[in-house]
Amino acid sequence: MQQLVIVTGLSGAGKTVVLRSLEDMEFYCVDNLPVNMLQQFASNIVADSEFYPKVAVGIDIRSKKKDLTVFNELIASISQDQLKVKVIFLSADKKIILKRYSETRRRHPLSTDQHNYSLTEAIKLESELMSDFKLNADLIIDTTQLKIQQLKQQIWQIMSQPSDHVSVIVKSFAFKRGVPFDADFVFDARCLPNPYWQPELRELTGQNDAVKEFLSKDDIVQEYLGDLCYFAKKWISQFEANDRSYITIAIGCTGGQHRSVYLVEALHEFLEKKMIKNMLQHRELD
């Protein structure tokens, strides 16, 4: 079946990086397609399926405001019998977007002479105008803490997964660097014994055998892991029944090095044994 990936989201959140990554994956990419042309564009690529097996389209705030309000209706109206449509929304913390624009010469689409908004006002207004896009996206990616290479790697991971069932993203992170905004479920592992306080384990991570042995011998850690696996197995199927394409489970500890990494690796192995597709990500290690 043909693929149509719609890349949208906030300006400065990484849409260009994602489109370039998809282009490297042999997608036919079109940036800044007006929303009111989307339905006709979809019909055209379906009519020439051999030439357009994989297509990606960038849609953003540069479309007319009145067209932005009908985006979700257009997506619903596109026939998915021949075309598998996937909407990826790129988001980031407003302060980070402000910092990114301040460090470059690029201007925000809403802070040009035509619109005459300040950068702060433009970022706030865009977030409001794009809220429905985010609400109905198949996948939300928060790029606040991601480097360009991490975002590219994540896109390659996501797009290489078969799309006939729900895909689970299991992610470790550090609470001291902030909770991932794109997480559907967040679990706090800071209540568990911390290998950091063992001098011989401090410089290691949850991927090292010595740390794994330390945590696997602790009854509380294993009880926590058991509850985590039970929760995932029980509820993933419910999301799949409701046509969700992606679920992100984020597990955090203080530094994102030991406990969260160990638990994410263990959950990944559990899901693999249960034949549940999942992608492994370590925000602080990658």
User: Based on the domain organization, do 155 and 171 belong to the same domain?
Assistant: no
User: Based on the domain organization, do 277 and 209 belong to the same domain?
Assistant: yes
User: Based on the domain organization, do 76 and 144 belong to the same domain?
Assistant: yes
* pLDDT tops 90 at residue 161: no
Report the mean per-residue pLDDT for the chain: 88
Residue 264: count of CB within 10 angstroms of its CB: 29
**Structure confidence by residue, pLDDT tens digits, 202-235:** 999 999 999 999 999 999 999 999 999 999 988 8
Cβ burial 205-216 (10 Å sphere, 16+ → b, else e): bbebeebbebbe
* pLDDT tops 90 at residue 172: yes
User: Based on the domain organization, do 242 and 193 belong to the same domain?
Assistant: yes
User: Based on the domain organization, do 19 and 155 belong to the same domain?
Assistant: yes
User: Based on the domain organization, do 153 and 174 belong to the same domain?
Assistant: no
User: Based on the domain organization, do 87 and 173 belong to the same domain?
Assistant: no
**Structure confidence by residue, pLDDT tens digits, 57-115:** 999 888 777 778 888 888 888 866 678 888 999 999 999 999 888 887 788 888 776 66
Say which residues have a Cβ less than 8 Å from residue 186's Cβ, sequence separation at least 6: 179, 180, 250, 251, 252
User: Based on the domain organization, do 8 and 105 belong to the same domain?
Assistant: yes
CA dihedral 120, 90, 151, 286 (to 10 degrees): 80
> Looking up tokens 């030439």, which residue turns up?
51
Last residue of a domain, one of 140, 159, 178: 159
The arithmetic mean of pLDDT across residues 188-214, rounded, is 96
H helices of the chain, in order, are: 15-24, 38-47, 65-68, 71-77, 94-102, 119-129, 131-135, 148-159, 209-216, 219-241, 259-273
Say how many domains are in the chain: 2
Last residue of a domain, one of 133, 159, 185: 159
User: Based on the domain organization, do 117 and 218 belong to the same domain?
Assistant: no
Distances in Å between the Cα of 38 and the Cα atoms of 57, 167, 175, 245 are 9, 26, 40, 21
Last residue of a domain, one of 159, 181, 213: 159
The CATH code of the domain that includes 17 is 3.40.50.300
Q: Domain range for residue 254?
A: 167-282
User: Based on the domain organization, do 153 and 193 belong to the same domain?
Assistant: no
pLDDT at position 142 is 92
